[in-house]
Amino acid sequence: MADVKLAPGADEVAMAVMLSDMLKANLEKPEKLKEFNKLKARVYINAKDAETEITMDFNRGTLTVYGGKEGSPDISIETDAATLLDLANINIKYGMPWYFDETGMAVVKKLLRKELRIKGMFTRLGALTRLTKIMSLN
């Protein structure tokens, strides 16, 4: 069983509660739990249109979700709430995120138009790939 917890005060941030609940459900799948147990990264997410920000601190089998920016993130994702849903709907094929279908191409277009900004995309590619696998609902 994965150790996913909300930091004090994070229960008042809807996105923190939603993402932690989604991750708990996802981590019931053995392939996602395996990736979760390997992930060590601090991930900051800012849904600009919803004026909501959270930090997820993954530490190889544990996750603490904060309701705001906490510490220095390894990966920062800034976009709108709808794009965050697109990211959660990316398909995983051959063990990797799949960007060659409608959802994946929409994400790539938003990256190119700078509607989606991911800092750490190249310097922390392994962690970002694991994060995508864990977060994907597919």
Structural domain including 15 reads 3-135
pLDDT for residue 2 is more than 90: no
d(CA 94, CA 70): 34
> In Å, how far are 8, 32, 42, 74 from 130, measured between CA atoms?
26, 9, 13, 13
Whether 116 contacts 45, CB under 8 Å: no
99/56: higher pLDDT? 56
Coil, strand or helix: which one is 24?
A: helix
Tell me: the pLDDT tens digits for 7-49? 999 999 999 999 999 999 999 999 999 999 999 999 999 999 9
Tell me: the pLDDT tens digits for 65-79? 999 999 999 999 999
pLDDT for residue 1 is more than 80: no
- Cβ-based neighbours of 101, under 8 Å, separated by 6 or more: 91
Tell me: the pLDDT tens digits for 92-121? 888 888 999 999 999 999 999 999 999 999
Count of structural domains, the chain: 1
Helix (H) or strand (E) holding 47, with range, is: strand 40-47
Indicate the angle between helix axes 81-88 and 125-135, nearest 10 degrees.
90
The residue among 103, 92, 1, 16 whose CA lies nearest residue 52 is 16
CATH number, domain at 85? 3.30.1050.10
Tell me: the pLDDT tens digits for 120-129? 999 999 999 9
